[in-house]
Chain A
Amino acid sequence: MENVIEIKNLKKAFGEKDVLKDVSMVLPRGKNIAILGESGTGKSVLAKCIVRLIEADSGEICVLGKDILGVENEELDEMRKKVGYLFQGGALYDSMTVKENLEFPIRRTQESKNKKEVAEMVEEALESVGLKDAINKMPAELSGGMKKRIGLARTLILKPEIILYDEPTTGLDPVTSGEISELILRVQEKYNTSSIIITHDIKCARITSSEKLKLMMGGKFYVEGTFKELSESDDKKVSSYFT
């Protein structure tokens, strides 16, 4: 099976502080992997290294067969269009309406598209997150869960092959979290994306991960396994996540 992301021996320190200490993982095409782990172990840093928002110190990251650490400028931007990134708060552009938020990435990266095509793409993306009514709202008028869904729609509109979700359900009530988790699964089925889902939410991890779960501790992966394997683990450190 083809791997869309391959990470080998990735290391990253901020000053004196080692955050990522030798991280390796692969993401097979069409699969979802959930990464669990306590606050501050470097999960977000890992995701940001994959899209080069943070520069890794050493190691290798291959995205869709390309060494992402070796590309620059235009080529990097091309790669980034294939990798969607859902930020924790949604990161909606708050000076733009929902519609403009969704149009923005198309307008800036696919200039050949005409108005009608763009409008159709916006509609389709909003439909897939179930928020067609919100099209003319400003981000400030949306709830936290809606922001995340619009953020996901904005990510989907560029038809990425890979999506990185940074805590998609944190700060949401259990019902909305469940809906978002289902949505992530639906998106994967509909668009055949491959995803890494970073989360504290054990229910979200169970619903979304079609592949293994990984547990990160102190800047390294501690264990991996299916939901069932990990939840039945005798290791205190592991089982404490599942109670």
Chain B
Amino acid sequence: MNMMLSKITGSLNTFFIEVGNILLFTVNVVKQLFSGPFEHKELIKQGYQIGNKTLPLIAITGFIMGLVLSLQSRPVLVDFGAQSLLPGMIAVSIIREIGPVITALLCAGKISSGIGAELGAMKVTEQLDAMEVSGTKPLNFVVASRVLATTLLVPILVFFADAVGLLGSFVAVNMHESMSVRLFMSQAFNSLSFSDVIPATIKSVFFGFFIGLIGAYKGYHTDKGTESVGISANSAVVTASLVIFIIDLIAVQVSDIIYGF
């Protein structure tokens, strides 16, 4: 009993220390984001790599999500004779929730782990230390540029996922009835309002920030040894995914308060 208690307090301890360290790291990175020097070349390079790595995956996943969601929701709506609501319903769920969360989770899997592994390898081979001791500020060059890149790109990827998801939905609708693109669009966008789009976009910005940050944090704090690179990459995915759901939970509460659904 006592041993279990001490085990629990022990792991709680490590949890809170980790949270504290992540917060401290966040503060330092944010400071670097505003203090320069600004590395636009590195930013473009990172942004390009992020897009390059994730676009096909997001396209396929988004399309299938929109398609499947529509096909599954349709029978229920048909029972009530309300199939004309389908485009609007799908649009709201894609834009509010599915687009951002699916994109963020895919990026956690691809980008967070990639950053974690890359910085982990740089740590293990002492490249980060070498930057540190030559006064070249690796937190600025390596970390801030990556975090900025994910923060800017994930919202764009979310828009892309939303668009592809709606395309999937359009295809699904047209499997059963023929509906013009215009009608589909007007039905979809009629039920959308700013209170759907704005919170989702803000949420996506936070997703992007933490996807970069968690990957960088895990990589930057890799232990010695080659196997720790794998551990860092792995725990970057797990932690980033968890943080995404926590942000999602907070976001729904906050927009509840602001828009009063």
The residues of A with any CB-CB pair to B shorter than 8 Å are 48, 51, 53, 77-78, 80-81, 83-85, 87-89, 91-94, 104-105, 108-109, 111, 151, 154-155, 158
Q: Contact: A94 with B134, CB < 8 Å? A: no
Inter-chain residue pair count (beta carbon < 8 A): 56
Interface string of B127-159 (1 = CB under 8 A from A): 101111111110001000000000000000000
CA distance A203 to B131 in the complex (A): 30
Nearest CB of A to B137, in Å: 7
Q: Contact: B137 with A91, CB < 8 Å? A: no
Question: Which residues from chain B contact A87 at a C-beta distance below 8 Å?
Answer: 126, 129-130
Question: Which residues from chain A contact B133 at a C-beta distance below 8 Å?
Answer: 51, 53, 80, 83, 85
Residue B260 CB within 8 A of the other chain: no
Q: Contact: A109 with B126, CB < 8 Å? A: no
Q: Contact: A93 with B127, CB < 8 Å? A: yes
Residue B37 CB within 8 A of the other chain: yes
Question: Which residues from chain B contact A158 at a C-beta distance below 8 Å?
Answer: 134
Question: Which residues from chain B contact A84 at a C-beta distance below 8 Å?
Answer: 134
CA distance A80 to B141 in the complex (A): 17
Question: Which residues from chain A contact B136 at a C-beta distance below 8 Å?
Answer: 104-105, 108-109
CA distance A154 to B134 in the complex (A): 10
Nearest CB of A to B219, in Å: 14
CA distance A93 to B125 in the complex (A): 9
Q: Contact: A91 with B134, CB < 8 Å? A: no
The residues of B with any CB-CB pair to A shorter than 8 Å are 37, 122, 125-127, 129-137, 141
Known: A108-B37, A111-B37. A77 touches B129 (CB 8 A): no
CA distance A91 to B130 in the complex (A): 7
Nearest CB of A to B70, in Å: 43
Nearest CB of A to B108, in Å: 23
Nearest CB of B to A160, in Å: 9
Q: Contact: B135 with A77, CB < 8 Å? A: yes
Question: Which residues from chain A contact B135 at a C-beta distance below 8 Å?
Answer: 77-78, 80-81, 105, 108-109
CA distance A214 to B133 in the complex (A): 24
11 more contacts with CB within 8 A, not counting A80-B133, A108-B37, are: A51-B133, A77-B137, A80-B134, A81-B135, A83-B133, A87-B126, A87-B130, A91-B127, A93-B122, A105-B134, A108-B137
What are 10 sample pairs from A and B whose C-beta atoms fall under 8 A apart?
A48-B129, A78-B135, A81-B135, A87-B130, A91-B127, A91-B129, A91-B130, A105-B135, A108-B135, A158-B134
| CB-based nearest B residue for A53 | B129
Q: Contact: A91 with B141, CB < 8 Å? A: no
Q: Contact: A85 with B130, CB < 8 Å? A: yes
Q: Contact: B134 with A88, CB < 8 Å? A: no
Question: Which residues from chain A contact B125 at a C-beta distance below 8 Å?
Answer: 89, 91, 94
A53, A77, A105, A108 interface centre (most CB from chain B within 10 Å): A108
CA distance A105 to B133 in the complex (A): 10
Nearest CB of B to A176, in Å: 20
CA distance A241 to B211 in the complex (A): 51
Nearest CB of B to A143, in Å: 16
CA distance A78 to B122 in the complex (A): 23
Name the 7 nearest CB pairs between A and B, nearest first: A77-B135, A108-B136, A91-B130, A91-B126, A87-B126, A80-B135, A81-B135
CA distance A53 to B138 in the complex (A): 13
Nearest CB of A to B20, in Å: 18
| CB-based nearest B residue for A77 | B135
Question: Which residues from chain B contact A83 at a C-beta distance below 8 Å?
Answer: 133
CA distance A48 to B136 in the complex (A): 17
Q: Contact: A92 with B127, CB < 8 Å? A: yes
| CB-based nearest B residue for A96 | B127
Question: Which residues from chain A contact B37 at a C-beta distance below 8 Å?
Answer: 108, 111
Question: Which of B127, B132, B137, B141 is within 8 Å of A53, CB to CB?
Answer: B132
Question: Which residues from chain A contact B126 at a C-beta distance below 8 Å?
Answer: 87-89, 91
Question: Which residues from chain A contact B141 at a C-beta distance below 8 Å?
Answer: 108
Nearest CB of B to A219, in Å: 19
CA distance A78 to B134 in the complex (A): 9
CA distance A83 to B134 in the complex (A): 8
Nearest CB of A to B203, in Å: 32
B126, B131, B132, B137 interface centre (most CB from chain A within 10 Å): B126
CA distance A22 to B37 in the complex (A): 40
CA distance A210 to B132 in the complex (A): 29
